[in-house]
Amino acid sequence: MKRFYKQAGIASATDGHRVTLDGKPIRTPGKAEMLLPAAALAEAVAAEWQAQGEEIKPDDMPLTQLAATAIDRVAKAREAVIEELIGYAETDLLCYHAEEPEDLIVRQMAAWQPLLDWAAETFEAPFQVTAGIMPTRQPEPALRGVRRALETLSDLELTALASLSACCGSLIVALAVRHGRISADEAFLVSQLDESFQIEKWGEDEEARKRRALLMRDIEAASGFLSLCRLS
């Protein structure tokens, strides 16, 4: 799509901050106004639009995409989104440790167990860990604990958490980012631990390098989105 505006900005409203193009409110794909509660987030979304060249490239506007998803989908289906997130908890990456080799097992324990301990303490969510790929049923207290945490979050935060959980294969990692326990860089390293281990041994092809770069970009975007949600 050709760029059709000169200036992106924001306008204050009684119920938040509108993102505007040449003074007119941006609309989501669902035709809703791009109305955001935090000025910092609205300004960041506007900055994405302002940074566009002659052609508008939606893939270069991850904050806009997350905001639109929150408005169009998550606000209308919070419980369904929470159920999706609980699904990640039921098969959380951090709960499936390798059976071999020993050096990978040691790395997983060092990187993953502190986050499992943190989740148990913070959310009263004692997750069950298993070795291998056979499914293990998570204790109901663990699932109830993370559900309580999810139910306190805004639609915007749930949207970012869903993106992070999909990127990392782990709701625990996503929650750790949300609560400032780990950074976006650390979330990438933790969730890509197995892949990084294999790359050390066998090398990395170009396709894998590009995939991991896109994954890092998406993790950074979702993490940044969460941070902006908490700013006034």
Residue 69 is predicted with a pLDDT of 98
CATH superfamily, domain 75-229, is ATP12 ATPase (1.10.3580.10)
Q: Residue 134: pLDDT band by 50, 70, 90 thresholds?
A: confident
Q: Which helix (H) or strand (E) holds 13?
A: strand 8-13
Q: Considering the entire predicted model, what is its pTM?
A: 0.95
Average per-residue pLDDT in the chain?
Answer: 96
| % the chain with pLDDT above 90 | 95
CATH dotted code for 8-64: 3.30.2180.10
Q: How far apart are CA 121 and CA 77, in angstroms?
A: 29
Work out the average pLDDT over 18-22. 97
Q: How far apart are CA 36 and CA 12, in angstroms?
A: 10
Domain boundaries, the chain: 8-64, 75-229
Which tokens hold the place of 185? 């860089």
Listed in order, strand segments (DSSP E) in 70-216 are: 96-97, 130-131
* pLDDT above 70 (res 232): no
Q: What is the dihedral of CA 201, 205, 208, 209, to 10 degrees?
A: 100
